[in-house]
Amino acid sequence: MSEPNVKEASIKYTTVLPQACLYELKAMADNKIIPSVSQGIRTAVEEFVKNRKQYLYEKAMQEAAADGRFMERTMNTYHDFSAVDAEGDETW
């Protein structure tokens, strides 16, 4: 399943929030710290998703780095293409 562009579509979804959090969000919106409660929740969810994806990526890279065969293939590829990367001039 491909990721939708955040600007493409918004979907209404009902969720349950702790009452204290909702009061805090309403106070922030009333004091113009955030544009609205909805925007505050949306921003928080977007940041959460971004952070979790970053965590999962870093975890996958750590696991790959611990795989000796993966590292060997990676280094062989690096060496195979290092001469190609160094060729050419700056006119491109």
DSSP H/E element including 80: helix 68-86
DSSP assignments along 1-60, one per residue: -PPPPTTT----------HHHHHHHHHHHHTTSSS-HHHHHHHHHHHHHHHHHHHHHHHH
Q: With contact defined as beta carbons under 8 Å apart, do 51 and 40 qualify?
A: no
pLDDT above 60 for 6: no
pLDDT value of residue 30:
98
Question: Per-domain residue ranges for the chain?
Answer: 19-84
Amino acid occupying residue 70: F
| DSSP code at position 66 | T
Q: Could you report the per-residue pLDDT of 39-82, keeping only the tens digit for each?
A: 999 999 999 999 999 999 999 999 988 888 888 888 888 888 88
Distance CA 35, CA 61 (A): 37
pLDDT value of residue 28:
98
